[in-house]
Chains A and B, each alone.
Chain A
Amino acid sequence: MRLWRWMVCLIPSLLSAGEWSGYAELQGRYFPQDAAYENQSDHLISLAFQPEYYQRWDNGNQSLLVVPFFRWDSEDEERTHGDIRELIWTYAGNRWEAQAGVGKVFWGVTEALHLVDTINQTDLVENPDGEQKLGQPLIKLSLERDWGIVDFYTLIGFRERSFPAEEGRLRSHPPVDQDHAEYESDREERHLDFALRWSHYIGDWDIGLAHFNGTSRDPLLIPRISNRGEISLIPFYEQMRQTSLDLQATKGDWLWKLEAIHRSIDSGSYNAATGGFEYTLVGIADTDMDLGLLGEYLYDDRGDDATTPFQNDIFIGFRLTANDVDGSELLAGVIKDMDEDSWMFNLEASRRIGSDWKTSAQIRLWSDIAEQDPLYSLRRDDYAELTLTRFF
Chain B
Amino acid sequence: MKLSLILATLLLTPAVTLAMTAEERGLEIAKEVDTRDTGFHDFKASMTMLLKNRHGEESLRDMRNQTLEVENDGDKTLVVFDEPRDVKGTALLSFSHKVGDDDQWLYLPALKRVKRIASRNKSGPFMGSEFAYEDISSQEVEKYTYKFIEESEHEGTASLLLERYPVDPNSGYTRQQMWVDKERYIPIKIDYYDRKNVLLKTLVFRGYQQYLDQYWRADEMYMENHQTGKSTLLTWKQYDFRSGLTDADFNKNSLKRAR
Interface residues of A (CB under 8 A from B): 21, 23, 54, 63, 90, 92, 94-95, 97, 104-106, 108-109, 131, 142, 144, 149, 199, 201, 206, 248, 250, 252-255, 280, 282-283, 288, 290, 323-327, 352, 355-356, 358, 389, 391-392
Which of A108, A144, A356 sits near B253, CB closer than 8 Å?
A: A144
Question: What are 27 of the A-B contact pairs (CB < 8 Å)?
Answer: A21-B85, A23-B86, A54-B259, A92-B257, A95-B248, A97-B257, A106-B113, A109-B115, A144-B251, A144-B253, A149-B253, A206-B116, A248-B116, A255-B116, A255-B118, A282-B120, A282-B123, A283-B123, A323-B124, A325-B51, A325-B53, A326-B128, A327-B128, A355-B60, A355-B85, A358-B86, A391-B84
Would you call A201 and B124 a contact (CB within 8 A)? no
Would you call B88 and A252 a contact (CB within 8 A)? no
> Whole-angstrom distance from the CB of A131 to the nearest CB of chain B?
7
What residues of chain B lie closer than 8 Å to A131, measured between beta carbons?
111
The 4 closest A-B pairs by CB, nearest first: A391-B85, A325-B128, A355-B84, A106-B112
B252 interfacial by beta-carbon distance below 8 Å: yes
> Whole-angstrom distance from the CB of A390 to the nearest CB of chain B?
9
By beta carbon, the residue of chain A nearest B82 is A21
What residues of chain B lie closer than 8 Å to A280, measured between beta carbons?
118, 121
Would you call A352 and B84 a contact (CB within 8 A)? yes
Would you call B86 and A149 a contact (CB within 8 A)? no
By beta carbon, the residue of chain B nearest A92 is B257
What residues of chain A lie closer than 8 Å to B125, measured between beta carbons?
288, 323-324
> Whole-angstrom distance from the CB of B42 to the nearest CB of chain A?
15
Would you call B128 and A323 a contact (CB within 8 A)? yes
A144 to B252, CA, bound (A): 9
What residues of chain B lie closer than 8 Å to A392, measured between beta carbons?
85
A283 to B172, CA, bound (A): 10
Would you call A283 and B118 a contact (CB within 8 A)? no
What residues of chain B lie closer than 8 Å to A108, measured between beta carbons?
113
What residues of chain A lie closer than 8 Å to B111, measured between beta carbons?
106, 131
Given the known inter-chain contacts A63-B257, A94-B248, A288-B124, please indicate yes or no for A105 contacting B112, CB distance below 8 A: yes
Which of B83, B87, B115, B116 sits near A201, CB closer than 8 Å?
A: B116
Given the known inter-chain contacts A21-B85, A288-B125, A352-B86, please indicate yes or no for A142 contacting B116, CB distance below 8 A: no
Would you call A327 and B123 a contact (CB within 8 A)? no
Provide the B51-69 mask, 1 if CB < 8 A to any CB of A, else 0.
1010000011000000000
